Chain A
Amino acid sequence: MQTLGRQRRKPPQDSSHLYPRGTKLYHVSRKGSGQNSRIQRPSSTVTVLKTMLVPVRYSVERWSYTLQRVTGVVVTLYFVLHVIETGNFIGGPTVWYVPPYDFAKAYYEHIKEFLHNPIFDVGLVVIGWMVAFHAINGLRLTLAHFGITLGRPSRVEPEAPPRSFSTLQRAIFWLSIALAVFAAVYSLNALMGVFAR
């Protein structure tokens, strides 16, 4: 068989000769991401939410990211309601000057009646947990973003955990959970007198 010089047999254009007749093959485009199906598009909002909120199998740092986001959103919602609520203590949105004493006191008692509700108290305890967690964890993240409390780069030991998951970082994370629980328990007592009585 002559295979020298220009008489070389041309290689097959695809590998279909290796497979049983009729097997459908995907032809790889040589233009890289020229094919429209292979451009990276933004994931659907559902996928993004699932990735953000359900980090199964991932480390504590990833759960902290989820919790920080969730607590941030909930506390923001509470903050808006709180500004409106405290505005109501003074006499509501129609009052823009110092109201007469009797009017202010009557309005205040009226609002207090509405708010003195065990459901709101429990809600405030949950919000208290979230604020405390978000604050201390935020402090930990601020330290990390400034490169403090993380390990230093060096030669890698095989099978060693990443330096950025340093003991101090993890300790502050668990401390934020613990302090948040303490805040929740304290506010439970302060609001509903659960332990004092």
Chain B
Amino acid sequence: MSERRLMLLHYVTGLGILITGAVHIWVVFFTVPLDQTIWETTMLFDNHPFAILSVYRNALLASTLWLLLVFTTFHAMNGIRVIIMELIPDERVMRAAKWLLIALGVFLVVYGTRTILIAHSIR
């Protein structure tokens, strides 16, 4: 993939993270009453309408979370690739880093998808 396409995706995923991340932060943090903490509300298994696990039974919220996962994985892996390129401008190191980062990205998306699917299905 050309550098131009990679960087364009970097900008696009960055904006995507802003939007889907805002939803995620709202779901987890902003639904907590001011006189309680997260541990007393959203982190309960199923006692509160905004308890983390019950919230993601909603398909729209689960999909937004999944998009956040994909965007963040790409943005983070590409960012690390750039930093490695600047710290160690060696051809072989770059090729190895590229494959390592792709592998890590695939693992994160697969494991995260599994988490979201199971959370979506727990009753």
Q: Are A and B part of the same complex?
A: yes
Using a CB–CB cutoff of 8 Å, the interface residues on chain A facing chain B are 42, 45, 48-49, 52, 69, 72-73, 75-76, 79-80, 83-84, 86-87, 89-91, 93, 95-99, 101, 104-105, 108-109, 112, 116, 131, 135, 138-139, 142, 145, 186-187, 189-193, 196-197
Choose from A72, A105, A131 the contact partner of B79 (Cβ within 8 Å): A72
Q: A57–B108 Cα gap in the complex (Å)?
A: 40
Docked-complex contact A83 and B115, CB < 8 angstroms:
yes
Q: In the complex, which of the residues A83, A109, A197 has the most CB atoms of chain B within 10 Å of its own CB atom? A: A83
- Whether A87 touches B32, Cβ cut-off 8 Å, given contacts A72-B79, A139-B18, is no
Q: Measured between C-beta atoms, what is the minimum distance from A138 to chain B in Å? A: 5
Docked-complex contact A142 and B121, CB < 8 angstroms:
no
Q: Which residues of A contact B45 (CB under 8 A)?
A: 104-105, 108-109
Docked-complex contact B79 and A42, CB < 8 angstroms:
no
User: In the complex, which residue of chain A has the Cβ closest to the Cβ of B29?
Assistant: A190
Choose from A45, A104, A190 the contact partner of B37 (Cβ within 8 Å): A190
Choose from B11, B32, B34, B108 the contact partner of A145 (Cβ within 8 Å): B11
Q: Which residues of A contact B83 (CB under 8 A)?
A: 69, 72-73
Choose from B35, B53, B79, B118 the contact partner of A196 (Cβ within 8 Å): B35
Q: Which residues of A contact B52 (CB under 8 A)?
A: 89
- Whether A89 touches B14, Cβ cut-off 8 Å, given contacts A73-B83, A196-B34, is no
Q: Measured between C-beta atoms, what is the minimum distance from B119 to chain A in Å? A: 6
What secondary structure prevails in chain A residues at the interface with B?
helix
Q: Which residues of B contact A138 (CB under 8 A)?
A: 14
Q: Which residues of B contact A91 (CB under 8 A)?
A: 118
Docked-complex contact B111 and A116, CB < 8 angstroms:
no
Q: A191–B40 Cα gap in the complex (Å)?
A: 9
Q: Which residues of A contact B53 (CB under 8 A)?
A: 89, 108
Q: Which residues of B contact A42 (CB under 8 A)?
A: 89
- Contacts of B59-97 to chain A: CB distance below 8 A: 69, 72-73, 76, 79-80, 83, 86-89
